[in-house]
Structures are given as C-alpha cells and as structure tokens.
Amino acid sequence: MDTTEPEENGIRGRVRTFDAFPKVAPTYTTQSSQGGLVTILLSLFCVYLIWGELGSYFAGIEEQQFVVDNRVGWDMQINFDITVAMPCITLHVNVQDAAGDRLLAAELVEMEPTDFDLSKTHELTVESRSEAQEDDDLQSVFRRAKAAKKFSKTKKMHHPNSPACRLYGSMKVNKVQGDFHITGKNFAYADYDRSMLTRDGLNFSHVIDEFSFGEYYPKLENPLDGVAAIIDTNMFRYQYYVSVVPTTYVSYGGRKVIDTNQYAVTEQPQPHVNPTHPPGIFLKYDIEPIGLEITERRVPFFQFLVRLINVLGGIVVCTGWFFPVVDTMWDKYWVKRGKSIPHETQGLLDKGLKHSD
C-alpha cells in the first residue's frame, strides 16, 4: 500500500495553512473613524519615508579623505582672467618658480584693452572665502564641469591706451612653488623705453574673474573668483598667498573622474615697496603634498532593503502602541465635555468585543 501521496498532501496542506503572522478573526474586530484616519496618516507617512529613503539611496553618500599625492607630473596648468586698471602696453606678466625658471606669460596669454568694471565684484573676506570653499554635491560638480571650457570674449574692445587691460588665458608651469605676478614696465624688469611709464601712471587696482589650477572649469567656484581690490596709491604691492590642494572627484562606480585643484588664499597689501619688492600684483602659490579624494558611494541594495523594512516596521509597531492611548484620550475628552459618546466614536473598551454564538 502506497502512502507517499497522503504524506505529500499532508505536508502541502500544513505549508498552505501555515501563517507566521496569525490574523485576528473578523468577528473580534471593530471599525471606527479614528482607526481609518490613523490608517490614512500612517500610509502617507510610510510613503514619505519610502520616498526619502529612495532619494538618499540614489543620491549616494560622499566620502572625503586626504591621501598622499603620489601622482607623477612635472607641470600643471594655471587659468586666470584678471583686469588691471592700467593700459596693456604698460604691463609685464611673468611667472617665476622655486627652480629659478622664469616664464614670459605675456607671450602666452591674451591682453585686451577694456573698461574697469566693478559692478559684479566683491572684496576678499572670510565670508567670501568660506562660501567659495563650500563643497558642492558631486552631481553639481560633474554638471558644472560639462560646461564650455573657453574664456568669454571681451565685451567691449577699446583703444590700446584704454584705462584698463584684461589679461586672460591658460598656461603650463612647473609643478613647484611659484610666483605669478603683474608689474609695471621699468619697475620690476628693465625695458628699453624708460619713458613709457612713470610713477604717476601706476594703478594696480584689479578685478580677478578667474584664478584656478588644473583643467579649466569655468563654472566651478574658487575663492578668488569675482574678487576686486581698489588701490588709492601708486607705489603699492598687492600680494596673495595661495595654498593649492590637488582634488579628485569620483562618481559612483568610478564612471566619472575629475582631477582638479582647490586652494585657500590670504591677502597681504604692502603700501611700502623697495627695489627688491617692486609694486604690482603678486600671487604666490605653493603645492601641498597631500591630496583630497571625494568619492560617491551607495549602501548595498540588500542593506538598503533591510533598513527600509526596519523603518517601516518600527513606524507600524509604534502606531499600534500609540493608537489605543489616543483612542482612550479621545473618549475621555467626550466624557468631560458632558456628551454621550457616539456609537461610531466609542473606544474598543466601550464597545466591547463581539462574540459569535
């Protein structure tokens, strides 16, 4: 006699009837307007939590860590867009680094006569430096890096002897400590025409629209972007000290990587000059031996599901504890008001439990 089929039916039947979360029989439940309202609010709150968890999961988490900058490189790029309140024919632009090399930057950049406009500028303050150094989220950084990487054209071209000169462009320099400076002819380097510029013709008031290191990303904010300095004396040396930190942005999974540089800056105006410290605009930069890596990552999907279930389960359990308290307080409120408790608003204890005969 074969007993296999009855045994299989018995096991299948037990599995089908097994319930890890036994339900309350319908005859032992009651419905109320408070319960319906709590259910609606609970559902909306759960949807809100699910939406928030999904947003944080897909947005990812930013991790920042400092590492030793061991990337091999002999040079780096400087990008600048500076307007000086002097004619172009009176200016010298040079770079001199710690190795003793001097670069004639005037031969590599654009110098165009223009007007001296201060309408969209500000002074270099602690607040402006902190605002520029605030870290944008990675998606914003990658979005801004996609913008056109070209310098805008000068809005108005004027006579070569116009009162201001715009100097802009990018150039390669040695990846060592250096000094980018703008000086007047005959006041830092010897020139054949010594009558070209006199002491009264010096005016190193300036506007810095762009000053960055590495690949040119015009939409990324830097501490010196939009900074202006007004100088009311002729023999004046305006000096900036820039500390450069190599920075790498890495998207989730390493699909996008941006190698750039951030920097901190301080200023030191010097009204007293001498032959060894001539007047002009000096930007002294130094490369830090450490780098900053900003990486986007996400929690594992299984961990995300466990977290989501825990949050929703906790909300449901807490609501189950909280509802009887609210229901009891609601009933007491109606009793204190001297009103009879309507049938549809009676609590579970007032209504009693229904028993099937």
Number of domains within the chain: 2
122, pLDDT greater than 70:
yes
Residue 303 belongs to what domain range?
31-60+299-341
Q: What is the pLDDT of residues 19-28, one digit of tens each?
A: 655 666 665 5
Q: What is the 3-state secondary structure (H, E, C) of the chain?
A: CCCHHHHHHHHHHHHHHCCCCCCCCHHHCCCCHHHHHHHHHHHHHHHHHHHHHHHHHHHCEEEEEEEECCCCCCEEEEEEEEEECCCHHHEEEEEEECCCCEEEHHHCCEEEEECCCCCCCECCCHHHHHHHCCCCCHHHHHHHHCCCCCCCCCCCCCCCCCCEEEEEEEEEEECCCEEEEEEECCCCCCCCCCCCCCHHHCCCCEEEEEEEEECCCCCCCCCCCCEEECCCCCCCEEEEEEEEEEEEEECHHHCCEEEEEEEEEEEEEECCCECCECCEEEEEEEECCEEEEEEEECCCHHHHHHHHHHHHHHHHHHHHHHHHHHHHHHHHHHHHCCCCCCHHHCCHHHHCCCCCC
Residue 349 falls inside a structural domain: no
Residues 99 and 167 in one domain: yes
Residue 3 falls inside a structural domain: no
Percent of the chain with pLDDT over 90: 15
Mean pLDDT, to the nearest integer, of 90-119?
84
User: Residue 351's pLDDT is what?
Assistant: 43
Residue 348 falls inside a structural domain: no
**Lowest mean pLDDT, pick from 51-60, 129-138, 164-173, 341-350:** 341-350
Residue 253 falls inside a structural domain: yes
Residue 112 falls inside a structural domain: yes
Residue 11 falls inside a structural domain: no
Residues 316 and 246 in one domain: no
Residues 203 and 191 in one domain: yes
User: Which of 297, 327, 350 is the endpoint of a domain?
Assistant: 297
Residue 265 falls inside a structural domain: yes
Residues 138 and 273 in one domain: yes
Q: What is the pLDDT of residues 296-320, one digit of tens each?
A: 887 777 888 888 888 878 877 777 7
